[in-house]
Structure 1
Amino acid sequence: MLLRICTGFVAAVVLATAAPAAAARPESRLVLTYAGETGRPAAVRLTCDPDGGEHPKAAQACAELGRVGADPRRLKPADRLCFMLYQPVTAQLRGTWRGRPVKWTQRFGNGCEMTRATGVLFAF
């Protein structure tokens, strides 16, 4: 009788600990960079699931990427005005998002336009 109880308990523990592991998402590892025509490029590593890396707003950036499937083109631009000053900036996102490769590059008229379009993603 005691053997059956112990066996049942061990089986329940094994099943309970195996279920969360099976449901875990693949980790996301990204490198985000931006650079103007003059000056040094800026770059950070961002990991999601769990959130981390060098990005100062990793949790917010991961949440934004999660909402759009890691496609910055699908982000809703902020409702703000930018000066019509041409100082081009190129932003780039590369890496793996939940097990699949992602690659995105876009050129903006200036840093304000980049921030308006991408939110916290390139806020570093």
Structure 2
Amino acid sequence: MAAVPERQHRSGSVTAHQIGAYHEQRARRYLERAGLRFYAANVRLRGGEIDLIMRDGATWVFVEVRYRKTACYGDAAASIDSRKRQRLQRCAAHWLAVRNQSIETADCRFDVLAITGSQLQWLPNAFV
């Protein structure tokens, strides 16, 4: 597996954006090994962003990737609050609407790939 990015910020430290990109790549590879097919990453829409869009057979899978260095203040999955879930659902609804689909009728789900330290935890159908 690739190391955390080497390129550093002016201050000499790796940026939060670089750390996030690294862990999103880890998540993508993990899900691909589990049989999902990659469709898109970092899809920016009005009101938010979808980290990964994957396919599991005919099902659209909208994936939120969360990373925490340690679990001192709760694990990565616990950091997804109701506001974040609503934002993801709105983004997914908009993304599907552009493709003439409805979130109510499309075969889709919301997964979370939580990374705490070096541990990956995949939560399929994490929320509705």
More helix by share: 1
Q: Which has the larger radius of gyration?
A: 1
Pairwise same-fold verdict (TM > 0.5): no
Give the TM-score of the pair, scaled to structure 1: 0.29
Give the TM-score of the pair, scaled to structure 2: 0.28
More strand by share: 2
Bigger relative contact order, structure 1 or 2 (CA pairs below 8 A, ≥6 apart) = 1
